[in-house]
Amino acid sequence: MTQFPDVAPQLAQQAIELPSWAFGNSGTRFKVFGSAGTARDPFEKIADAAQVHQYTGLSPSVALHIPWDRVESFADLRKHAEDLGVQLGTINSNTFQDDEYKLGALTHTDAKIRQRAIDHHFECIDVMNETGSRDLKIWLAEGTNYPGQGDLRGRQDRLAESLATIYQRIGENQRLVLEYKFFEPAFYHTDVPDWGTSYTQVAALGERAVVCLDTGHHAPGTNIEFIVMQLLRLSKLGSFDFNSRFYADDDLIVGAADPFQLFRILFEVIRGGGYGNPDVAFMLDQCHNIEQKIPGQIRSVLNVQEMTARALLVDTQALAAAQEAGEVLAANQIFMDAFYTDVRGDLAAWRETRGLPADPMKAYLESGYQQQIEGDRVGGAQASWGA
Ligand code: LRH
Ligand code: MN
Ligand code: MN
């Protein structure tokens, strides 16, 4: 018998935003594989995301990427989403695919190019006003490939100025969320490579500017849960992009590569007051290059739910006592006991009490939706950079 009943009410609060791009075809820089039934436009991506929510009850919103998800009427897209029981969520900007941005966008030495990139963010804010989105998420592909290529300090100063201009447009109830990534596509230096730089930039902007932590954006061996702790301590952890990695920014299913790391991260989120807290948004940022996309997203949200349940099961009172008593191994055992608790049976039973299928994956696969989209849709949309 686990203490599962004690933690179940907290699980009911869980919401994990899905990325629209997970439902389009994607790939590596070597090849994009098409797959049968892939969504052809943003409306179909939303419909697929709604399936994930229908069977799991875990994903009430969908993040969009502009321009990938640019549509004629965002009001129509919003209505479409709401009719299907989901909301439109974070708006992600994109300054990484235009020729003009080859040497930088918000950091570019040419004021005209910087303005173009700023205008793109203004467009994203306009979209947010139509979709009802709270967060503008900015990930910048900016950096240099060779030492001496750019003035590191000058770029940082221009970045601060550009971000301040964008921040001024952010509404009272909106947030600017700045994501960091240690390398790629630039390989010598990146302008926002780490949480410290992201924190420094958003701290200068104000309260409505926060950091996004993408779990795949760190060097191997980085203690990500420490960063989670620190950002929560500073009230600057705005959101997560969850995924998992074996090597670099692999964008694989969250919890697939290192379930124990996911557990440790979620433990720190809970410990730091970030769980069930709307200020800390949970999102997936993944691509399903070779596996089916809707099942891939179902697996992902279930992995997060499972590890959240285990992290909630840590006996924090006993843990604190062991820590204070200097009981090194006892403290570690308390932590590991929770990690090793198999909650799958409890979760299945609990789902049924909430009118959800015990096994969401099975329910989806038996629903006929996959066969229907494979028959109906021809020529799925390209989702991402792997073109
Ligand atoms: C960059 C990133 C960022 C983008 C997404 C498509 O690697 O993680 O969040 O918006 O991928
Ligand atoms: Mn990301
Ligand atoms: Mn990434």
Q: Label residue 385 by pLDDT band (50, 70, 90).
A: very low
Arithmetic mean of pLDDT over the chain:
96
Residues 336-365: pLDDT tens digits?
Answer: 999 999 999 999 999 999 999 999 999 999
Q: Does residue 370 surpass a pLDDT of 80? A: yes
d(CA 102, CA 104): 6
Pocket lining: 249 vs ligand 1, CB cutoff 6 Å: yes
Pocket lining: 139 vs ligand 1, CB cutoff 6 Å: yes
pLDDT at 378: 80
The arithmetic mean of pLDDT across residues 2-23, rounded, is: 95
Q: Which ligand is nearest to the CA of 284?
A: 2
Pocket lining: 179 vs ligand 1, CB cutoff 6 Å: yes
Residues 230-275: pLDDT tens digits?
Answer: 999 999 999 999 999 999 999 999 999 999 999 999 999 999 999 9
Q: Give the torsion through C-alpha atoms of 189, 190, 194, 198, to 10 deg.
A: 140
| DSSP letter string, 317-353 | HHHHHHHHTT-HHHHHHHHHHHHT---HHHHHHHHHH
Q: Could you tell me the distance, in angstroms and rounded to a whole number, from the CA of residue 168 to the centre of ligand 3?
A: 26
d(CA 69, CA 93): 11
Pocket lining: 285 vs ligand 1, CB cutoff 6 Å: yes
Q: Could you tell me the distance, in angstroms and rounded to a whole number, from the CA of residue 344 to the centre of ligand 1?
A: 31
The preferred substitution site among 139, 286, 382 for testing ligand 1, maximizing ligand atoms within 8 Å of CB, is 139
d(CA 350, CA 342): 14
Closest residue by CA, ligand 1 atom 11? 285
How much is the CA Rg of the chain, to the nearest whole Å?
21
Q: Could you tell me the distance, in angstroms and rounded to a whole number, from the CA of residue 10 to the centre of ligand 1?
A: 29
What share of the chain has pLDDT > 90, as a percent?
96
pLDDT at 386: 40
Q: Does residue 387 surpass a pLDDT of 70? A: no
d(CA 58, CA 61): 9
Q: Which helix (H) or strand (E) holds 136?
A: strand 135-139
Pocket lining: 241 vs ligand 1, CB cutoff 6 Å: yes
Give the residues across from 382 on adjacent strands.
25
Which is the closest atom of ligand 1 to the Cα of 214?
Answer: 8
Least confidently predicted of 28-37, 54-63, 278-287: 28-37
pLDDT at 382: 61
Single-letter amino acid code for the residue at 305: Q
Q: Could you tell me the distance, in angstroms and rounded to a whole number, from the CA of residue 97 to the centre of ligand 1?
A: 12
pLDDT at 384: 54
The arithmetic mean of pLDDT across residues 41-48, rounded, is: 98
Of 1, 21, 56, nearest to 251 by C-alpha is 21
Closest residue by CA, ligand 1 atom 5? 285
Q: Could you tell me the distance, in angstroms and rounded to a whole number, from the CA of residue 217 to the centre of ligand 3?
A: 6
Pocket lining: 181 vs ligand 1, CB cutoff 6 Å: yes
pLDDT at 62: 98
Q: Which residues of 57-85 are buried (b: 16+ CB within 10 A; e: fewer)?
A: bbbbbbbbbbebbebeebeebbebbeebe
Of 5, 29, 6, 3, nearest to 251 by C-alpha is 29
Closest residue by CA, ligand 1 atom 1? 139
Pocket lining: 69 vs ligand 1, CB cutoff 6 Å: no
Residue 85 zone, left/alpha/beta (φ > 0; ψ -120 to 50; rest): left
Per DSSP, the three-state class of 253 is coil
Pocket lining: 190 vs ligand 1, CB cutoff 6 Å: no
Q: Label residue 9 by pLDDT band (50, 70, 90).
A: very high
d(CA 338, CA 73): 47
Q: Does residue 296 surpass a pLDDT of 60? A: yes
- Given a contact cutoff of 8 angstroms between Cβ atoms, the answer to whether 178 and 192 are in contact is yes
Decide: residue 116, CB within 10 A, 0-12 exposed, 13-18 middle, 19+ buried.
Answer: middle
Residues 127-160: pLDDT tens digits?
Answer: 999 999 999 999 999 999 999 999 999 999 999 9
Q: Which two tokens stand for residue 232?
A: 């929560």
- Given a contact cutoff of 8 angstroms between Cβ atoms, the answer to whether 77 and 71 are in contact is yes
Closest residue by CA, ligand 1 atom 4? 139
Q: Which ligand is nearest to the CA of 241?
A: 2
Residue 324: how many CA atoms within 13 Å on its side-chain side?
A: 6
Q: Does residue 78 surpass a pLDDT of 50? A: yes
Residues 165-201: pLDDT tens digits?
Answer: 999 999 999 999 999 999 999 999 999 999 999 999 9
Q: Label residue 383 by pLDDT band (50, 70, 90).
A: low
Q: Could you tell me the distance, in angstroms and rounded to a whole number, from the CA of residue 65 to the centre of ligand 1?
A: 9
Q: Could you tell me the distance, in angstroms and rounded to a whole number, from the CA of residue 174 to the centre of ligand 2?
A: 19
Pocket lining: 142 vs ligand 1, CB cutoff 6 Å: no
